[in-house]
Amino acid sequence: MNRNENRRKRAEELVARMTVEERIDQLTYQAPPIERLSIPAYNYWNEALHGVARAGTATVFPQSIALAATFDQELIQTIGDAIATEARAKFNEARRHGDRDIYKGLTFWSPNVNIFRDPRWGRGHETYGEDPFLSARLGVRFIKGLQGEGEIMKVSACAKHFAVHSGPEELRHEFDVVVSEKDLRETYLPAFEACVKEGQVDAVMGAYNRVNGEPCCGSPRLLQKILREEWGFEGHVVSDCWAIRDFHEKHRVTKTPVESAALAIRSGCDLNCGNTYLHLKSAWMQGLVTDEQITESAIRLFTTRFKLGLFEKTEYDDIPYEKVECDEHIALSLRAAAEAVVLLRNNGILPLDAKMCSTVGVIGPNANSRRALIGNYYGTSSRYITPLEGIQDILAQKARVLYSIGCELSADRTEPLANANDRISEALAVAEHSDVVILFLGLDETLEGEELLDDANYGSGDKKDLLLPAVQRKLLESVVSVGKPVILCLLSGSSIDLDFADRNCDAVLQAWYPGARGGKAVADILFGTQSPGGKLPVTFYRNDGRLPAFEDYAMEGRTYRYLSGTPLYPFGYGLTYGQVDVVDVRVGGPSFGKDTLPLSVSVRNDCGREVDEVLQVYAKPIDSPHAPPNPVLCFFRRMKVASMSEATLDIEIPSDVFTVTNDSGVRECPNSEWRLFVGFSQPDERSFELTGRRPFEITLKK
């Protein structure tokens, strides 16, 4: 009997001692105590998207989209483990003080592995980007970091939101996603499948929307046929919060809360985040659900609690509170923030030499914003370092730093009684008196986020378009007009049209939401203490109106795999302070028919500094009607290459990348040649235009 079988056996024995009413009570996120069985209360709702959230002090790591930009699997797993360590430390103290409130448990509803298919989606920065392969690899490693691989699970991870979920936020409670079998299996499900099969994720959260008519939290096809029967999932399923209520109030697939509760549990949703399962007793009494269905859900939930060791002494009970926001985790967060920065444009001005700048102008609404550091679903840091503060620290006693907010994030004035654009003149004065200007623009969770209701500029958390707010565009144009060198740094979580900046700024950086102390990492990149090596996990488009309708979930025209036009900055793109080239690629062993394809990749760094880069491999069959039109990412590895040196990497490409998904949603291996592209970007023309390099190309014959 393996460890999970043993945990389930113990859960079965405990649940067998409960009445049906007691079992029903355990199926809501606020599970009450059962004193006669010595079962304490437990609240399942907790969040750990990029650090322990909503429960006080914790290390606030960079937001998920920033972690994706690192293309660093080992780093993601290490961060997951650090988050789990802090979670256990906080849980130990909360339990010792009798605190079993929301956000105090060990069941974390993270990661979000939805595909960021449309750049307007407000919650896209919670994800790992637009590519199924990248999302799967990072999701699996984050889960392994959170859950650990010991006898007792460190914390419980949850892959969300299952499935086919990426906006619009305004319609999510009533929206029916119509998706083809090909897109479902090729794009929307692979990351979840990997999280279940490889990551052994403990929980899966259903989405708010319907998929082809079935509400996700009450979908026999998604929750039974695919999740449990096809993938062999053995954990528990939790609804998104109050999603089951949507069955009768918004989707209208049921008529009453009783019917909604019955549909959800019959379909395989074990835990209700919400209160609709308060009607389960009525459903049971009316014969709409069976004792066996209620019992099975209770067993699954108690299996999780046994896997976490909540009824015994564990090795994690002695993790001290001092692990919370410790120096090691702060350093890890800063490393991630630096690795995440993507250098989009550089005419040679970066890295800045502090000795050459007597006065540096720092301008913009995100220059000194704490909110722009943290994204959403965040904890509380004991200290925040904004970009302005990071720059001031680096230049202390070396140069003068002038600062102006320049404008608000979206409001047209800072002082209510002033005229519009009341900080523009100050920004112009700062620019005129500076040797170089660093302009910090972008967004924060008030402009891109989850179902926002009160913002006049952006709708319900989603973006109306890809442009910066009008007041920021005016600030950018005004500062550029001064004629001083301008470096634009974006703190945001999604694709923004930077066409004007690309044509008029000396350098452009994408820093995402870099974590509580991320301003230090940004300053380190700007002044060359560290070299940028991040890559875009999403395509940056021009705001030219060619995006498909937001409500259309067909992949045609979406993401780098199906894009027909020319992007501003492609997926996988990012510059460095130097250049590494692939000089040779050799295939070792048979090309097809094995579990992996071994490659030996030789790279060379001819510049005078160590370079941080991401090796990327893309694959495309030469002749297949079912393949995406563009080559698809099938391997990546973050690497450092020492100055004036060569290195050889022995890598293995999974053989399942040499398949395509047909119109029926079935993966097949086309009888054709394949092209592999090995380099530091996509093999597209725009990447070549921006980098001056093409990936090394090889052809494999079947």
**Catalytically active residues, by annotation:** 240
CA atoms within 13 A on the CB side of 85: 18
Amino acid (one-letter) located at 266: R
Instruction: Tell me the angle at which helices 291-307 and 3-15 cross, rounded to the nearest 10 degrees.
Output: 130
Please choose, from the candidates 92, 236, 259, 258, the residue with its C-alpha nearest in 3D space to the C-alpha of residue 156: 236
Give 598's strand partners. Answer: 652
Other Cβ atoms less than 10 A from the Cβ of 592: the count is: 12
Other Cβ atoms less than 10 A from the Cβ of 355: the count is: 8
List CB contacts of 68: < 8 A, sequence separation 6 or more.
Answer: 127, 128, 129, 134, 135, 138, 537
98: its two tokens: 């009798």
CA–CA distance, 39 with 119 (Å, rounded to integer): 46
3-state helix, strand, coil in the chain (%, to 5): 35, 20, 45
Number of H helices, E strands in the chain: 20, 23
CA–CA distance, 151 with 586 (Å, rounded to integer): 41
Report CA-CA distances (Å) from 230 to 213, 226, 257, 669. 21, 5, 30, 20
Please choose, from the candidates 495, 504, 499, 457, the residue with its C-alpha nearest in 3D space to the C-alpha of residue 477: 504
Instruction: Tell me the angle at which helices 257-267 and 291-307 cross, rounded to the nearest 10 degrees.
Output: 60
CA atoms within 13 A on the CB side of 280: 32
- Positive or negative, the CA dihedral 371, 407, 520, 346 is positive
Q: For 380-446, give the secondary structure using H, E and C.
A: ECCCCCCHHHHHHHHHCCCCEEEEECCCCCCCCCCCCCCCCCCCHHHHHHHHHCCCEEEEEEECCCC
DSSP category for residue 40: P
H-state helical runs in 161-210: 181-183, 190-197
341: its two tokens: 């920065």
Amino acid (one-letter) located at 701: K
Q: Which of left, alpha, beta for 483 (phi over 0: left; psi -120 to 50: alpha)?
A: left
Buried b (16+ CB within 10 A) or exposed e, 16-46: eebeeebbbbbbbbbbeebeeeebeebbbbb
> 487 and 526 in contact (C-beta within 8 Å)?
yes
Report CA-CA distances (Å) from 518 to 60, 62, 122, 200. 9, 7, 22, 32
CA–CA distance, 12 with 198 (Å, rounded to integer): 26
CA–CA distance, 559 with 313 (Å, rounded to integer): 48
CA–CA distance, 702 with 699 (Å, rounded to integer): 10
CA–CA distance, 468 with 145 (Å, rounded to integer): 36
CA–CA distance, 158 with 243 (Å, rounded to integer): 16
List CB contacts of 655: < 8 A, sequence separation 6 or more.
Answer: 592, 593, 594, 595, 596, 597
